[in-house]
Amino acid sequence: MLVGVPKEVKVHEYRVGLVPASVRDLVGHGHQVLVEAGAGVAIGFPDAAYQAAGARIAPDAATVFAEAELVVKVKEPQPAEWRQLRPGQILFTYLHLAPDPEQTRGLMGSGCTAIAYETVTDAQGGLPLLAPMSEVAGRMAVQVGAHCLEKGAGGAGILLSGVPGVPGARVAIIGGGVVGGNAARIAAGMRARTIVLDRSLRALDALDREFGGAVATLFATAEAVEAAVLEADLVIGAVLVPGAAAPKLVTRETVRRMRPGSVMVDVAIDQGGCFETSRPTTHAEPTYLEEGVVHYCVTNMPGAVARTSAVALNNATLPFTLQLAEKGWRRALAENPHLAQGLNVHAGRVIHPAVAAALGLELLPAEKAIRA
């Protein structure tokens, strides 16, 4: 199969769909790889590295989209990209369609087969292609939150770790999954006073065992979330409903009652955000002030550490990319029900139940799309 890798065009997005090591594996399995010129140069992967791995370099994105049977990206396609997709072409990337009706309509109109990293599952019920970026985003959330607490960044002028005689900041993490767990590790490591809220007693038990009481855990009732947010200097939103829009767990009224200069980092912003006051931002302008509280709502947080993120993502996606290239999407999805969960759009129809429900669109069940 001819696999194409366009350069990412989202603001300050430097990750790349395939790193040279992945290209080498695909070529070794008999596939062709076409990489847009300069796709990986910003993170230390020059065109020469791709050529050495066996790729052909395309002069522009239009060439990649025109020739590729399988397009492998990182972020959701932008309007100029989805207009270049075509019926029968496979798109494999993050999509996050539930809060994005415009992109959904664009993909439906293209007729392509769009498979989303974030809804592919594994035998344990996890999300293996979302997990690497969730790990990065969770760790980054504390890092960027600590910076935003600085006075020059609009915060209250609080050092996250504190110093002898002055306590560290209070950090409330809403969600104890991959993002929340990684955020807790960094926050606790920086000696912040940390609490994690979740509705899964199993997740809370695992965190309690890991941290031995160094991180407090609390069942996430509405009352508990509100109280924790009002006490916190830094709030990290780390909730996820696979494929669906994130629930709004912190109201504007609660944000209004927070201490001025507090910070909110909404890692759930890719799925619409879990704070009522959240709106998407970019790495160019990552924060804004709302109700006296600093909000960081960048939709591609891991893009800030693009080399680490790209390699980590490829480690997870490469086996699935190989399956799609070797078997074609129908056979690959028919034989791998976990990969089949990634099918979001096909031939103008929405396939994923959570996306259809969120956007009020008619659902075509995946098994029917695969058998058609």
Which residues are known to be catalytic?
96, 270
Phi/psi at 243 (5° precision): 80, -15
Contacts of 102 (CB under 8 A, 6+ apart): 79
Residues 95, 135: Cα–Cα separation, whole Å: 18
Provide the phi-psi class of 16: left if phi over 0, else alpha when psi is between -120 and 50, else beta. Answer: beta
| Residue 87, C-beta contacts closer than 8 angstroms, at least 6 positions apart | 110, 111, 112, 347
191 backbone φψ class: left, alpha, beta (φ>0; ψ -120 to 50):
left
Asked if 273 contacts 266 with a C-beta cutoff of 8 angstroms, the reply is yes
Which strands, in side-by-side order, build the sheet including 170-174?
A: 216-219, 193-198, 170-174, 234-237, 263-266, 293-296, 287-290
Q: What is the DSSP letter of 153?
A: G
